């Protein structure tokens, strides 16, 4: 299921490219929307465990997911 997360500290294409380069091997294609604030990251998430891992890995590269 595709899921969209709002994230902190994403400001430009370099940030988007870092997210994709770091996480696409584990999570598949990732879309980063730089036209909204806060920025949005859309990814295919199969279950709650994968979602928790995604959020943790986003935080580890400096882009904390904003919990709603």
Tell the CATH topology of 2-60: Alpha-Beta Plaits (3.30.70)
Domain ranges of the chain: 2-60
Reported as a pLDDT band with limits 50, 70 and 90, residue 33 is: very high
Contact 3, 47 (CB under 8 A): no
Please report the pLDDT score of residue 67 as a whole number.
Answer: 83
- Confidence (pTM): 0.94
60/3 Cα distance (integer angstroms) = 19
| pLDDT at 44 exceeding the cut of 90 | yes
């Amino acid at each position: 299921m595709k899921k969209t997360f709002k994230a902190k500290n994403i400001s430009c294409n370099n940030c988007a490219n870092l997210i994709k380069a770091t996480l696409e091997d584990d999570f598949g294609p990732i879309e980063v929307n730089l036209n909204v604030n806060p920025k949005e990251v859309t990814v295919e998430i199969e279950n709650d465990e994968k979602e928790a891992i995604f959020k943790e890995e986003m935080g580890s590269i400096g882009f904390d997911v904003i919990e709603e």
